[in-house]
Amino acid sequence: MPKRIAYTTEIEYIQILDEHANFDESLGKGTLRDDEVVFLYEQMSIVRHYDEIAFKLQRSGRMGTYPQNKGQEAAAAGAGFAIKKNAPGSWLVPCYRENLALFLNGLPMEKILLHWMGDERGNQIPDGVNILPIAIPIGTHPLHGAGLAWAIKYRDRVMNESRDNRVVISFFGDGSTSEGDVHEAMNFASALKVPAIFLCQNNRWAISTPISKQMGSETVVQKACAYGMHGIQADGNDIFAMYKVTCDAIERANNDNMPTLIEAITYRLGDHTTADDARRYRDPAEVEAWESKDPLIRTRKYLETRNLWDNTKQTALEAKAKQMVSEIVKNAEGIETPTSDDIFDYTFANLPDEIVRQRDTMHTHSLGQNPQQETLNAHSHAGAR
């Protein structure tokens, strides 16, 4: 037989709650309870207000560049809550548009503000919180995720430590898939069958580069086929769909030793960062179309149709968000001023004498460390004359 089909596949797209708040009862069964939907809507709303305040902090000169999460809250909410509920103790490897997933899994909200304020203590993750610092280099961090997942498997299989459903979920954008590191990470994870989840937030734009110019493939998720891992595409603005596909990926990683690539179809409603002006390259009609798919709007509609939400609750939530975020900003801006000793004290377990002198004098040259030498040098020059 000279010719045959070498490989065929199909990839599913999952949507449970659409932009009109139509809910698929069969797919949505057993996903999120009503109280959990209320909780996630509240959290998304708080993070939306957090985003707005962070934007104002940057514009008023109180913070450096900031990337808004606006429009992408559901992907982080659904995935982050799935990890929190079904795989506690798992590792989250973030990019910089997954704030809610991080907050749901224990990261203090002040940390993100401190990071963008240029305070290194924003990257100091509290003990017991399994989250890596947010990654600014594009696409480098999924390698860290694959390595962490390999460590979990090694400890489980070789050292007989139970991992209790723990997985590693790495978040990245569609632009990251143009970086070789992302593909190396997925190849490593698939070849070694580690408990890894790769979540691509496809928001259609890599800064000003549209998805049509980012890749020749029709989807991001089809790349999973090349590595022999499971791939699924989901409505990234649907908390139910994102929760379901992440739960399925957790189960698949633990029961079948199969990594998963999730492509969350979403859209950033704001600029790439506060240093960007998306009006220069995006069609206003496109933005308007995606505004109607806003995850907060559709989730609120869902709650209202089930008599779980009303204007009174909305007003109370907005007041709560305002007070809460105000306190977070106060804590971030009121943190004690760091000392120069921090530069030295966390580099060595035991500081060498030379480093101690540099720390105490803030000089590296001998004259700075011992100014009395200047007098001695003056006398010696006088004697020479």
Active site residues: 268, 272, 281
Place of tokens 């809610």: 100
* Cβ neighbours, 10 Å, residue 321: 20
Amino acid type, 129 = V
Q: Residue 178, Cα to own-chain centre: how many angstroms? A: 18
Q: Which structure tokens are listed for 44?
A: 């998304």
Place of tokens 């991992």: 163
Give the contacts of 330 (CB within 8 A, at least 6 positions apart): none
Amino acid type, 196 = A
Which residues sit opposite 170 in a β-bridge?
93, 198
368, 361 in Cβ contact below 8 A?
Answer: yes
DSSP 135: P
Residue 83 φ/ψ region, left for φ over 0, alpha for ψ in the -120 to 50 degree band, beta for the rest: alpha
94/104 Cα distance (integer angstroms): 13
